């Protein structure tokens, strides 16, 4: 059985610190997610994150708890909380790219939405992940 979780959030650090803050997150995530058999994608754009993770339900729950209490971001808004049949990002570990304002606009528009209406938003974000993240190069 598989679980998936997608959220958007707002960074708590200044944009000028982005590389210094995110590089260690990406490094830890790649190792830990691989150990947990979790795959997914992470986008950071200007001041916001969007992340999608999928894997064994216990592993996704465990990571979700850690991510939700991480002080490097706040205002987490869940966009998708699902039990998918198969992986969407099977060949991917966490990929990260610092990105342009228009990507951020998409993320921000999702953050303001009531949770019941996130279906469309989830589809839009999944497209963003596919366009802007890098497949696992292993
Ligand atoms: C936006 C964001 C995304 C994160 N994504 C992951 C992730 O995919 N995997 C991971 O292990 N940690 C991720 N982290 C880091 C975790 O929140 C946490 O710091 C790390 O897993 C170590 O957890 P621990 O301090 O409870 O041991 C992320 C943090 C942030 C701010």
Each domain of the chain, given as residue ranges in start order, spans 3-137
Q: How far apart are CA 38 and CA 52, in angstroms?
A: 10
Find out whether the beta carbon of 17 lies less than 6 Å from any atom of ligand 1: no
Model pTM score: 0.87
Hey, whose CA ends up nearest to atom 25 of ligand 1?
A: 66
Find out whether the beta carbon of 70 lies less than 6 Å from any atom of ligand 1: yes
Distance of CA 32 from the midpoint of ligand 1 (Å): 9
pLDDT digits (tens, 9 = 90+) for 28-55: 998 999 999 999 888 888 888 999 999 9
Taking the chain (138 residues) in runs of 10, the rounded mean pLDDT of each run is 95 89 88 92 87 96 98 94 92 64 79 70 81 58
As a whole number of Å, the end-to-end CA separation of the chain is 25
Instruction: Report which of 27, 64, 22 is spatially closest to residue 46, judged by C-alpha positions.
Output: 22
The CATH class given to the 3-137 domain equals alpha beta
Distance of CA 72 from the midpoint of ligand 1 (Å): 9
Instruction: Report which of 117, 41, 40, 19 is spatially closest to residue 77, judged by C-alpha positions.
Output: 117
């Amino acid at each position: 059985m598989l679980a998936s979780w997608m959220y958007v959030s707002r960074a708590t650090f200044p944009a000028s610190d982005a590389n210094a803050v995110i590089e260690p997150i990406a490094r830890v995530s790649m190792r830990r997610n691989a150990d947990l058999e979790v795959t997914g994608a992470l986008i950071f754009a200007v001041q916001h994150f969007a992340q999608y993770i999928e894997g064994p339900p216990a592993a996704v729950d465990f990571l979700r708890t850690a991510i939700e209490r991480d002080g490097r971001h706040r205002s987490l808004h869940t966009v998708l909380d699902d039990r998918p049949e198969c992986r969407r990002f099977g060949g991917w570990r966490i990929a990260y790219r610092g990105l342009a304002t228009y990507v951020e606009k998409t993320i921000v528009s999702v953050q303001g939405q009531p949770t019941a209406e996130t279906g469309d938003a989830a589809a839009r974000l999944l497209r963003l992940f596919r366009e802007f993240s890098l497949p696992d190069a292993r």
